[in-house]
Amino acid sequence: MAKHTLIAYVEDVPGVLNRVASLFRRRNFNIDSLTVGRTEQPGVSRLTVVVDATEAGARIVEANLYKLVNVLRVDDLTHKPSLFRELGLVKVRVTPETRAQVLQLTEVFRARVVDVDEATLVIEVTGTPEKVGKFELVLQPYGIVEIVRTGAVAMARGHELMSAAPPLVRTDVGADHHTDASGVSMSV
């Protein structure tokens, strides 16, 4: 199992998010994060989905996304040179003694303070999901009051266009996803 980042371009019509979410739920795919936003093209939204899957599992997720009539295109960025970004807001407890330390960590992570009061700081951090996670970790000892993360968005590097054709399912990925027999449906 590994994290796979898929970009799905979908028609911006009512219910489309529901269709994607329903697919992941009923096929038992593990979503790590899912973000949606507009694109440069009117009427087209862009979803970034991070799933926990084997290589073969990721292909099945991809094929299933393509089965949704409103899905225009799917790109798997996992093995392509790509940029991954996430934004987090962390509200952390500070005392006169710890304030300087927290500010220093903020500096190190190139994060910035966006709100201050006598007992807390709200810090905005952007970067790869790993970096945001790390930042959360180092602030934990000070007492995190609240945290919100957007989930990852991603974009391939470079100027080459992604192929618009859906890749055909690869079959050279081995048997690493073999379903446990105990998972087989057992109803009459």
Partner 1 sequence: MKLTGAEIIWECLQKEGVDVVFGYPGGAILPTYDAMTKYPKIHHVLVRHEQGATHMADGYARASGKVGVAIATSGPGATNMITGIATAMMDSSPIVCITGQVGSKAIGTDAFQETDVTGVSLPVTKHNYLVTRPGDIARAIREAFYIAKSGRPGPVLVDITKDAQQMTAEFDWEGAAPRLPGYRPSYHAPASEYERAAELINSAKRPLILAGQGILKSGTTDEVLKLAKDAGIPITTTLLGIGVIPASSPLNLGMMGMHGEAWVNQAIQQADLLIALGMRFDDRVTGNLKTYALNAKKIHVDIDPSEINKNVPVDIALIGDLREVLAVIAPQVKKAEHAEWWTTINAMRGDAAVRDIQSLPDNGHLYAAHVINDLWRLTQKRDTIVVTDVGQHQMWEAQYYRHDQPRSLITSGGLGTMGFALPAAIGAKFACPEKDVWVVCGDGGFQMTSCELATAEQEGIKVNVAIINNSFLGMVRQWQEFFYDKRYAATPMTGPDFVKLAEAYRLKGLRCNKRSDVKATVDSTLAAKGTVVIDFVVEKEDTVFPMVPAGADLDKMIRRPKQDVMLESGSDKDWEMPAAPVRPAANGQAKAAVKAPKAAKKPAAAVPSRGPKTTKSNRR
Binding site for partner 1 (CB under 8 A): 10-11, 14-15, 18-19, 22, 26, 56, 59-60, 63-64, 66-73, 166, 168-169, 171, 173-175, 177-179, 181-182, 184-188
**Beta strands 120-127 and 44-53, pairing class:** unpaired
Minimum CB separation from partner 1 for residue 50, in Å?
20
Which residue number, 70 or 101, has a Cβ lying nearer to partner 1? 70
Which residue number, 11 or 107, has a Cβ lying nearer to partner 1? 11
What values do phi and psi take at 142, rounded to 5?
A: -85, -15
Six-digit token string for 145: 């009051």
Contact assessment for residue 45 and residue 38, using Cβ atoms and an 8 Å cutoff? yes
User: Residue 59 class from Cβ within 10 Å (0-12 exposed, 13-18 middle, 19+ buried)?
Assistant: buried
Minimum CB separation from partner 1 for residue 114, in Å?
36
What SS3 class is residue 93? strand
Minimum CB separation from partner 1 for residue 183, in Å?
9
Which residue number, 158 or 183, has a Cβ lying nearer to partner 1? 183
Minimum CB separation from partner 1 for residue 33, in Å?
22
Identity of the amino acid at 150: T
